[in-house]
Amino acid sequence: MGRWEPGARERLVLAAVDLFHEQGYDETTVAQIAERAGVTKSTFFRHFPDKREVLVAGQAALSALLAEGIREAPAGAAPLDAVAAGLRRAATAYGPVSREIAPRLEAVLAASEELRRRNAQKAVGMAAAMEEALVSRDVPAVTARLAAELGVLAHHAAFTRWAAEPTAPSEAMADYSVEALTELRRAAASLA
């Protein structure tokens, strides 16, 4: 395999998820991931600082899409309607590779406390991006924070559902996200 062959990042993610699923996160080394992906260890480290970061490879892009969708929601949209627009935009990041690894990724996260903690940190970043985008729409800070947290919960519920349905197409992530947000909206209304 050529040193600069395209797709190395994607191959590294696929290799890591497969190895974490097959033999466990703790038992998998960077060298094994690189070998399975057909790249060198130095190529791995050009893409990721450590093996933990492989599983959150798309975090920055996902957060950016969430914020972009919120900012571009129609003027006057209610905060949760803007969050729904952000969730729909973020769902465009889920393509065939995401579809392929989703069930294994859920299993890997369930089996590792360290990875569950890292995934929780990812949620903090997603919430912050959504909150900032809502505040830029003149949503009061406390409302923006609550709406962003509901958005994170909706995204996680949607991903879990999508991962559990191997025949669900990538496009279903958007619908699942908005459905989850609607359920959360109803649940929040019942708290009053």
Tell me how far apart the 2 most distant CA atoms of the chain are, in Å: 61
- The rounded distance, in Å, linking the Cα atoms of 14 and 8 is 10
Residue 5 confidence (pLDDT): 56
**Residue-range domains of the chain with CATH:** 8-53 (1.10.10.60), 58-189 (1.10.357.10)
Which residues does 107 contact at the CB level (< 8 Å), separation at least 6? Answer: 21
pTM for this prediction: 0.84
Which residue carries 């890591």 as its tokens? Answer: 16
pLDDT in tens, 114-159: 888 888 888 899 999 999 999 999 999 999 999 999 999 999 999 9
Which residue carries 């089996």 as its tokens? Answer: 111
Q: From residue 26, how far is each of 30, 52, 99, 103 by CA, in Å? A: 11, 10, 24, 19
Amino acid at 140: P
Instruction: Name residues of the chain where pLDDT drops below 50.
Output: 1-4
Residue 6 confidence (pLDDT): 63
